[in-house]
Amino acid sequence: MRGITSGRWSSYLQLWLLVICIQNITTSSAGKRSLYRFTDASDVEVLARELEFKSADIWKVNRHKREIDFIANPDVARSSLEQNGGELRVLVADLDALIREERAGIHSYRSKRSTSPELDFTKFPSFEELEDYLHHIAEKHSQFVKLESHGYTHENRSLYLLKIGQINSRIEKKAMFLDAGIHAREWASVSSMAFIVSRLVDLFSDPQKMLNDVRSQVNYYIMPLANPDGYEYTRSTDRLWRKNRAPPPENSTCYGVDLNRNWNVSGYGVGASDDPCSQIYKGSEPDSEPEVITAKKLISSFSDIRHYLGFHSYGSYVLTPFGYTKKLPEDNIRLLKVGHAMREAIYAVNSRNYSVGSPAHIFYVAGGASDDYSKLSGIPTSMTIELPEVDGTGFILPSESIIDIGKEAWASLEPAAAQIVEYEDYEVQSSICVGKN
């Protein structure tokens, strides 16, 4: 009898919790956009695809934690909870109110901003402010900084490449290629890259610092903002926009292509959408976008690149290859060693734990990305860092956290540079994979 009673109470408790969750969804989301977190789902990857099919906007997936962050209307959230079980909570009840608050801060800053070209790292820069800063440091530090424009976006914004290091020296050095802001709404990646640039300028300005910092033994090719059109659109119109601003294809009214699903590389189209209205639309064909064409041309044109590192947000991950397959590169052990060293360096800054592994194992399989292209094109080490969220607000990062997260991004470069110096002559292993599912 006791066992039957206990079982009944357990069933009643589960039903009661489900009812409470559904009530919370309805109450918090009536007429508003809300950010939800699903945990303990039976199959996170299947649930993510189901939510995308129902037009939910997936923000983060973590298979290890069985966790998904997403935006959807209350009916979708409710039905997913009923069908999949698990737990569902509201992270941000009124997302638009949070966005309005963020935008008010931007307008207030604009009215007070000085004419100085230096960046204020307590605020997220506009494209124009970032552009002014890049020209400023290139003019002021021409002995080790060079700024180049390599083509234009659909809306005629320059796609910049910044070179930092001993660029005019006859001493040959290996290099890193860095980029940020491929996805428009990931503001933390852009501010963190600007922070990295400022630290590199400071480092190469001081011979004494250079003697004691392994990061000075490497040259840097940097795309500080790989999707300027989309980024500016998030500042002016739709804060949660992910894609670029490509004009709609024929028979559609929807703008934009997901630039990290558009690279012509193995797995193009996997984990992406054919629907131009989707946030993960892969484009009409691979390499269709000027931002991708430019980045690809740059990565392929420098024979001294030994490490590609892309900055995204959010999630607190150091990601190793691959995204398009669950198979792993033959040098996976070495890559994981580098990734764990980067994680330890990041942890030393703010005691924040990052997970290390491949996107296909941590998230889901998705192709057409820059890091897969870089590895398969012959760059020995190719990685992506997903910067963290703060206070459960996802992409809407509090401005007071910009510097802290910038410091984490900066710290990750030290072990990355060290492995370039240490493994300068190792054999490139890129396209051979071992079957590990």
Domain-wise residue ranges, the chain: 2-93, 117-434
Q: Say if residue 156 is exposed, middle or buried (CB neighbours under 10 Å; 0-12, 13-18, 19+).
A: exposed
pLDDT tens-place values along the chain, 437 residues long = 334 444 544 444 444 444 444 444 444 445 578 999 999 877 888 888 888 888 899 999 998 888 999 999 888 888 888 887 789 999 999 999 999 999 988 876 665 566 678 899 999 999 999 999 999 999 999 999 999 999 999 999 999 999 999 877 666 789 999 999 999 999 999 999 999 999 999 999 999 999 999 999 999 999 999 999 999 999 999 999 999 999 999 999 999 999 999 999 999 999 999 999 999 999 999 999 999 999 999 999 999 999 999 999 999 999 999 999 999 999 999 999 999 999 999 999 999 999 999 999 998 899 999 999 999 999 999 999 999 999 999 999 999 999 999 999 999 999 999 999 987 555 544 444 444 44
Same fold, 2-93 and 117-434: no
Assess contact for 225 and 160: CB atoms under 8 A. yes
SS3 of 53, please? helix
Q: What are phi and psi of 306, to 5 degrees?
A: -115, -10
Specify the CATH number of the domain 2-93.
3.30.70.250
* Proportion of the chain in helix, strand, coil states, percent, rounded to 5: 45, 20, 40
The count of C-alpha atoms lying within 13 angstroms of the C-alpha of 342, restricted to the half-sphere facing its C-beta, is 33
- Would residue 106 be called left, alpha or beta, if left means φ above 0 and alpha means ψ between -120 and 50 degrees? alpha
Task: Decide if 118 is catalytic.
Answer: no
Q: Tokens 């997302």 — which residue?
A: 95
Beta strand 381-387 pairing with 305-313: parallel
Residues making up the chain, counted from first to last: 437
- Among candidate residues 386, 400, 414, 422, the one labeled active-site is 386
Domain 117-434 fold is Aminopeptidase (3.40.630)
Distance in Å from the first CA to the final CA of the chain: 45
For the record, the structure tokens of 273 come out as: 């959408």
Residues forming a β-bridge with 39: 67, 87
